[in-house]
Amino acid sequence: MQTPAAGVGGPGPGGASILYIDYAFLTPTTQFHIETRDANAVLRDRVFYPEIPDPPHLEHYFVGNVTREVNATGVQQGDLWTLDVGGTQWCGGAMGWNALYWLHGASQFRRPTVQWRFTPSVRQSDGSRAVEVTIRNTSSSSLEGEFWLYTQGNQLLEGATLRQWRTRFQPSLQRPIRLDPRTEITIPFVIPAGTPTSRFFYGELELRQSGVDATRIYFAHQEADAPALIGYMSTAGANRPVQVQILNPNSGVGATKALQADAQGVWRVILEEGDEPLIADSEFYAPTWQVRVKPQGALSRTFTNVLLPGGDTLDPYLRMQLVLGDVNGDDCIDDADLLMVLFEFGSTEDSFADLNLDGVVDDADLLLVLFNFGAGC
């Protein structure tokens, strides 16, 4: 979840009749709102994307731009209007302005605009969690200013409380910002080991542009520490080892994870140290990923057009019914698998021939091979 707010200084002499907003939701967004209030806190405009319906709901998300022309009758130079935006996005998220200006006749009074992107947390070997925030100047002019970030929030701050966060907390990070037009800067930071998950990050940008009043942007962003993928292997998958291969066929970027399902047959991919190339891929947030799921003793299944950064609640939820009998793991249930079961028949040692994971290679495992004989070949 991201909740930014911006203070927009009024235009130059002569007033303005329209405030033009072009706001971008750059990653899958399941709901959002944009509210514009004038200097007297009167609501001038509101747009809302509906809440997600009951599952399955993956087809219900928004990516793109929202443009609004807000009636700004009565605005005066030096007035401070506010834009409040709330959005729920996949595992991390990116949003911000493409354009923001006052319009009076044919004259434009432009304000600085930026977009920002938070990566999901990547768990490190020492227990800490690495995150990156990228800030991009979408203006046609250079921007400079100051950036503050606090990484230890334990609640969501909104509205006036969000705009006052620096009176309550000391920043974890403070640095000057200078960006040429259409350029960006990436700032890494670390959540210390032992810090509870689902932190909120509070940020503030004060942006200055030659001849323009300062624009202030505040945001609260919830840490994305949910699984990148979650899948289900039916009841036969309970406590079963599984190999999950993730690949972007367009770029060749990928990773392979050796996992074990839980007692419900659910497996989860957690982003760990070494998975940074996945996040850096330009299509990380696009439904282009290919996921091959290979449970121990079962045929594999490959899923295509997967949204990789899924999370526990907004997730592709890769479901498969297991076809058991592939003892040697070659995705073909044949004589070789039958011979392996017969050769280890009666064994109580840990064995790939124990297809139903009951601790012994016996008739039940033999019947699984015979019942599914020829599958996958």
- SS3 annotation, 251-286: CCCEEEEEEECCCCCEEEECCECCCHHHHHCCCCCC
Tens-level pLDDT at each residue, the chain (377 residues): 555 656 666 666 655 689 999 999 998 888 899 999 998 999 999 999 886 555 544 556 788 999 999 999 888 877 888 899 988 887 788 999 999 988 887 788 888 899 999 999 999 999 999 999 999 999 988 989 999 999 989 898 888 898 899 999 999 999 999 999 999 999 999 999 988 887 899 999 998 876 666 788 999 999 888 888 889 998 899 999 999 999 999 999 999 999 999 999 999 999 999 999 999 999 998 888 999 999 999 999 999 988 887 655 444 568 899 999 999 999 999 999 999 999 999 988 888 999 999 999 999 999 999 999 999 98
SS3 346: coil
At 90 the pLDDT is: 73
Which of 167, 201, 222 is a domain's end point?
A: 222
Whether residue 334 is found in the same domain as residue 366: yes
At 51 the pLDDT is: 61
Which of 222, 245, 273 is a domain's end point?
A: 222
Distance, C-alpha 12 to centroid of its chain: 39
Q: Alpha carbon of 250 to those of 90, 286, 302: distances in Å?
A: 21, 11, 16
Whether residue 149 is found in the same domain as residue 280: no
Q: Alpha carbon of 261 to those of 172, 234, 270: distances in Å?
A: 37, 10, 13
Q: How many domains does one find in the chain?
A: 3
**Any idea what the CATH number is for the domain that residue 332 is in?**
1.10.1330.10
Q: Which residues contact 350 (CB under 8 A, 6 or more apart)?
A: none
- Picking from 154, 193, 151, the residue whose alpha carbon sits closest to that of residue 170 is 151
Q: How far apart are CA 96 and CA 5, in angstroms?
A: 10
At 63 the pLDDT is: 87
Whether residue 20 is found in the same domain as residue 140: yes
Q: Alpha carbon of 18 to those of 46, 71, 75, 81, 330: distances in Å?
A: 15, 5, 9, 12, 65
pTM for this model (two decimals)? 0.83
Bond into 196 cis (ω within 30): no
Whether residue 316 is found in the same domain as residue 332: no
Whether residue 98 is found in the same domain as residue 158: yes
Whether residue 169 is found in the same domain as residue 306: no
* HSE value, Cβ hemisphere, 13 Å, CA-based, for 302: 11
Which of 164, 197, 222 is a domain's end point?
A: 222
> 201, 220 in Cβ contact below 8 A?
yes
Q: How far apart are CA 338 and CA 327, in angstroms?
A: 8
At 293 the pLDDT is: 96
Whether residue 296 is found in the same domain as residue 182: no
Q: How far apart are CA 144 and CA 137, in angstroms?
A: 10
Whether residue 252 is found in the same domain as residue 190: no
**Any idea what the CATH number is for the domain that residue 299 is in?**
2.60.40
Q: How far apart are CA 2 and CA 224, in angstroms?
A: 11
At 313 the pLDDT is: 46
Whether residue 283 is found in the same domain as residue 336: no
Range of the domain at 119: 2-222
Whether residue 148 is found in the same domain as residue 285: no
Residues facing residue 104 across a β-bridge: 107
Whether residue 53 is found in the same domain as residue 135: yes
Whether residue 84 is found in the same domain as residue 201: yes
